[in-house]
A and B are shown apart, each in its own frame.
Chain A
Amino acid sequence: MSFLNFSDDRLVPGSRRTFLGQSGLLLSGTAIALLAGRDALAKTGRANTAANDVGILNTALGAELEAIAAYQLGAESGLLQKPVLDLAVTFQGHHKEHADVLAKTIHKLGGKPVEAKAKYQFPTDTLKNQTDVLRFAASLEKGAVSAYLGAVPVFGNRDLAKAAASILGDEAMHWAVLRNALGEAPVPSAFVS
C-alpha cells in the first residue's frame, strides 16, 4: 500500500482539503489520518505530546533517509544483478515514500524535518558480493522493524501509531523478501521484536 496513491475526500474537512488542494497531493485515507495529527492535538492541547511525536517522527525520518542512501549504495555497487537490483530499487522507492510522508507530517505538526546527511558511513569494506549486500540490507530492514515496533506504543497520537505500524509492515515484508533472496526462511518466527 502506498500512502500517496488515491484521495478520499470524505475524510478531509475544509482546512485540510484546502491544504491538499494547494499542495497538489493525492493522499490515501491513511496518509490523511497521519497528517491529521496537528488538528487533533491542538484540540486537546497536548503540546508536549506533539513535540514528543515530532521527535519520534524525526528519528524515523533520519533512519529512512539513511536507508535510501544505503539502497543507493547497493544499486550503484555493481554487485547486484537483476532481479535483485530491481528489488533494491523498488524497496528504495518505498523508503522514499516513507520519508516523504514523515517529512510532511513533521511539517504539519509544526516541526522541522531532519535533512539527509551529506555523507553516510556504511561498512563498504565488508560488501564484496551480492550476498553481502543482501545481508546488509536485511539487517537494516530487520532493525527498522524493531525501531518502528518500539515507536508504535510511544506515540501520543494514535493515528501516528497506526501510520508507523503501516510502515512497520512494509519493512517486515522487505526483510522477509531479502531473507528469501538469501535462501533463508523468509519468516523465521511468529513474532518480531
Chain B
Amino acid sequence: MKSHLAAWAAALALLPMASHAASGDKPADLQRGAAIYERCIACHAFEYDRTGPRHCGLFGRRAGTVPGFQYSAAMRQSNIVWNEKTLDVFLKSPMTAVPGTSMGYAGIADAGEREALIGYLKKEGESGRCRK
C-alpha cells in the first residue's frame, strides 16, 4: 500500500499546477469533453449508478464511497479524493493507478483528451441535473 501511495504522490507531483485551471471553461473544450464522455456511457451516467458509479458529486468525493454502490476492495481502500489531478492520474491508466479496480479499461493516453473530459465532468457536475 505504501509503495502504491508513493507512486500516486510522485505522479501527482509531476502534474503542472495550473494544467486544469481553465479546462472546461471554453465551449469547444466542453464539446470535446462531451464527445469523449460518450466512451464512458456503457458503464456510467451522471445521475445514477450503473455498472460504474454515478458522476454527479464526483469532485471532492472520496473514491469508493457512493452509498449502495459495490466497489472493488482496491477502490474502497485507495484513499483517493477525486479532483482534477487525481482524475488525471486515474484516467490515464485506471488499472495502473488503482490495481484491482473494476474499471477494466486501458485509459486515455492523450493528456488533452483527459483535460477536456475532466473539464466536462466538472462542469456537468455543477449543472442542474446534478443539483436535483
Residues of chain A touching chain B, judged by Cβ–Cβ distance below 8 Å, are: 51-52, 55-60, 62-63, 66, 120-121, 123, 139-140, 142-144, 146-147, 150-154, 193
Contacts and interface: CB of A to CB of B under 8 A. Distances in A.
30 contacts: A52-B100, A52-B104, A55-B72, A55-B101, A55-B102, A57-B104, A59-B43, A59-B102, A59-B103, A62-B43, A63-B50, A63-B51, A66-B50, A121-B45, A121-B49, A139-B38, A143-B39, A146-B39, A146-B40, A146-B41, A147-B39, A147-B42, A147-B105, A150-B39, A150-B105, A151-B104, A153-B106, A154-B95, A154-B105, A154-B106
B50 A150 contact: no
Contacts of A140: 41-42
**Dominant secondary structure of chain A at its interface with chain B:** helix
Contact of B38 (A57, A59, A142, A154): A142
Interface in B35-55: 38-43, 45, 48-51
**Dominant secondary structure of chain B at its interface with chain A:** loop
Q: Which of B40, B41, B107 has the largest number of chain A CB atoms within 10 A?
A: B41
A62 B51 contact: yes
Nearest to B48: A121
Contacts of A152: 106
A147 B72 CA distance: 18
A150 B44 CA distance: 14
